[in-house]
Structure 1
Amino acid sequence: MSLQPEPGFPIPEETTRVAKASFPKENIYIRMRDELGIFYSDEAFTDLFPRRGQPAIAPARLALVTVMQYAEGLTDRQAADAVRSRIDWKYALGLELTDSGFDFSVLSEFRSRLIDGSQERQLLDLMLSRFVEKGLLKSPKQQRTDSTHIIAAIRTLSRLENIGETLRYALNTLASVAPNWLQTIVPNSEWYERYGRKFEDSRLPSNGEERTSLAVRIGADGFYILDAIWSELAPNWLRQIEAVEILRLVWIQQFSVENDLVKLRSADEIPPPSIIINSPYDLDARRGNKRTTIWTGYKVHLSETCDDDAPHLISYVETKPTSDRDHQVLDELHQNLAKQGIIPEKHLVDTAYIDAQLLVDSSQKYNVDLVGPAPGDSQWQSRAQKGFGLADFEIDWSQQVVRCPHDKLSSSWTNRLNLYSQPVVVARFKKSDCHNCPSRLDCTKDKTGVRTLTLRPQELHEALNEARARQQTPEFQEQYAKRSGVEGTISQATRVFGLRRCRYRGFEKTRLQHIITAAAMNLVRVWQWWTQANNFGKSISRFAALAV
Structure 2
Amino acid sequence: MQGREQEQRKLLDVEALAGELLVPGSVFAFLAAHRNRLFPDSMMEDLFSSKRGRPSVPAPVIGSVLVLQALEGLSDRDTADALTYDLRWKAACGYALTNTAFHPTTLTYWRKRLAASSRPHRIMDAIAEVVAETGVLKGRRRRALDSTVLDDAVARQDTITQLIAAVRRFGRDVPHGWDLIETYGVGYDYARTGKPDIAWDDAEAKEALVSVLVNDALALLAAVDPDGLEGKAADAYVLLALVAGQDVEPAEGSDGTDGRWRIARKVARDRMISTVDPEARHAHKTRSDKRDGYKAHIVAEPGTGIVTAAAVTKAAGPGSSDAEAGAGLLAADPAVTAGAQVEVLADSAYGTADMLRTLVAAGHRALIKPKPLAAAVVGGYTIDDFAFDPDAGTLTCPNGLTRTITDKGRATFGAACRGCPVRANCTTAAGGRKIELHPEHW
TM interval, shorter chain, is 0.5 to 0.7
- 1:146-157 correspondence to structure 2 within 5 Å: 146-157=146-157
Query: Per-residue deviation at 1:347?
Result: 0.8
Residue 346 of structure 2 is matched in structure 1 by 348
Q: Please say if 1:207 is aligned against 2:201.
A: yes
Using a 3 Å threshold, how does the CA distance of structure 1 residues 195 and 33 change in structure 2: closer, same or farther?
same
- C-alpha offsets along residues 504-525 of structure 1, whole Å, 9 cap, x if unaligned? xxxxxxxxxxxxxxxxxxxxxx
Query: Per-residue deviation at 1:153?
Result: 4.1
| Aligned 8 A contact 1:164 1:218 in 2 | yes
- Mapped to 1, the partners of 2:261 and 2:66 lie a distance apart of 44
- C-alpha offsets along residues 304-332 of structure 1, whole Å, 9 cap, x if unaligned? 3323xxx3222332323232433333322
Q: Please say if 1:301 is aligned against 2:297.
A: yes
SS of corresponding position for 2:137: coil
| Aligned 8 A contact 1:39 1:126 in 2 | yes
Q: Please say if 1:16 is aligned against 2:7.
A: yes
Q: Please say if 1:278 is aligned against 2:273.
A: yes
- 1:6-405 correspondence to structure 2 within 5 Å: 16-17=7-8, 20-21=9-10, 24-26=13-15, 32=31, 35=34, 37-39=36-38, 67=63, 70=66, 108=113, 111-114=116-119, 120=121, 123-134=123-134, 136-140=136-140, 142-173=142-173, 178=176, 191=189, 195-197=191-193, 199=194, 205-208=199-202, 209-219=204-214, 221-222=216-217, 225-226=220-221, 240-253=233-246, 254=248, 262-268=259-265, 272-274=268-270, 276-289=271-284, 290-307=286-303, 311-323=304-316, 324-337=320-333, 338-339=336-337, 344-349=342-347, 351-376=348-373, 378-380=374-376, 383-386=377-380, 389-395=382-388, 397=390
Which structure dedicates a bigger proportion of its chain to helix? 1
When the two chains are superposed, the root-mean-square deviation of aligned CA atoms in Å is 5.6
| Aligned 8 A contact 2:344 2:366 in 1 | yes
Query: Per-residue deviation at 1:438?
Result: 5.9
- C-alpha offsets along residues 78-106 of structure 1, whole Å, 9 cap, x if unaligned? xxxxxxxxxx9xx99xxxxxxxxxxx999
Using a 3 Å threshold, how does the CA distance of structure 1 residues 315 and 272 change in structure 2: closer, same or farther?
same
Using a 3 Å threshold, how does the CA distance of structure 1 residues 112 and 262 change in structure 2: closer, same or farther?
farther
| Aligned 8 A contact 1:287 1:295 in 2 | yes
Q: 5+ unaligned residues in a row in structure 1: which ranges?
A: 1-10, 45-54, 75-87, 93-103, 419-423, 463-548
Name the aligned partner's letter for residue 244 of structure 2. W
| Aligned 8 A contact 1:305 1:314 in 2 | yes
SS of corresponding position for 1:195: coil
- Mapped to 1, the partners of 2:339 and 2:379 lie a distance apart of 45
SS of corresponding position for 1:131: helix
Using a 3 Å threshold, how does the CA distance of structure 1 residues 66 and 241 change in structure 2: closer, same or farther?
farther
- Mapped to 1, the partners of 2:260 and 2:382 lie a distance apart of 49
Using a 3 Å threshold, how does the CA distance of structure 1 residues 135 and 204 change in structure 2: closer, same or farther?
farther
Query: Per-residue deviation at 1:454?
Result: 4.5
| Aligned 8 A contact 1:140 1:343 in 2 | no
- Mapped to 1, the partners of 2:418 and 2:244 lie a distance apart of 58
- C-alpha offsets along residues 185-222 of structure 1, whole Å, 9 cap, x if unaligned? 5999x94xx5243x458x87533344444444444554
| Aligned 8 A contact 1:139 1:343 in 2 | no
SS of corresponding position for 1:327: helix
Identical aligned residues as a percent = 17
Higher relative contact order (CA 8 A, sep 6+): 1
Name the aligned partner's letter for residue 347 of structure 1. L
Query: Per-residue deviation at 1:365?
Result: 2.6
Using a 3 Å threshold, how does the CA distance of structure 1 residues 366 and 200 change in structure 2: closer, same or farther?
farther
| Aligned 8 A contact 2:272 2:280 in 1 | yes
| Aligned 8 A contact 1:143 1:303 in 2 | yes
| Aligned 8 A contact 2:185 2:217 in 1 | no
SS of corresponding position for 1:347: strand
Query: Per-residue deviation at 1:372?
Result: 1.0
- Mapped to 2, the partners of 1:277 and 1:114 lie a distance apart of 27
- C-alpha offsets along residues 137-182 of structure 1, whole Å, 9 cap, x if unaligned? 34445443333222334221122221222222233446xx659957
| Aligned 8 A contact 1:355 1:375 in 2 | no
More divergent stretch after superposition (360-369 vs 62-71): 62-71
Q: 5+ unaligned residues in a row in structure 2: which ranges?
A: 20-27, 44-48, 52-57, 70-74, 77-90, 96-108
Using a 3 Å threshold, how does the CA distance of structure 1 residues 129 and 346 change in structure 2: closer, same or farther?
same
SS of corresponding position for 2:150: strand
Using the size of structure 1 for normalisation, the TM-score is: 0.51
- C-alpha offsets along residues 255-306 of structure 1, whole Å, 9 cap, x if unaligned? 76989864333313x77131x4333232222233442233332222234332
| Aligned 8 A contact 1:354 1:373 in 2 | yes
- Mapped to 2, the partners of 1:392 and 1:259 lie a distance apart of 48
Using the size of structure 2 for normalisation, the TM-score is: 0.61
| Aligned 8 A contact 1:285 1:296 in 2 | yes
Using a 3 Å threshold, how does the CA distance of structure 1 residues 38 and 390 change in structure 2: closer, same or farther?
same
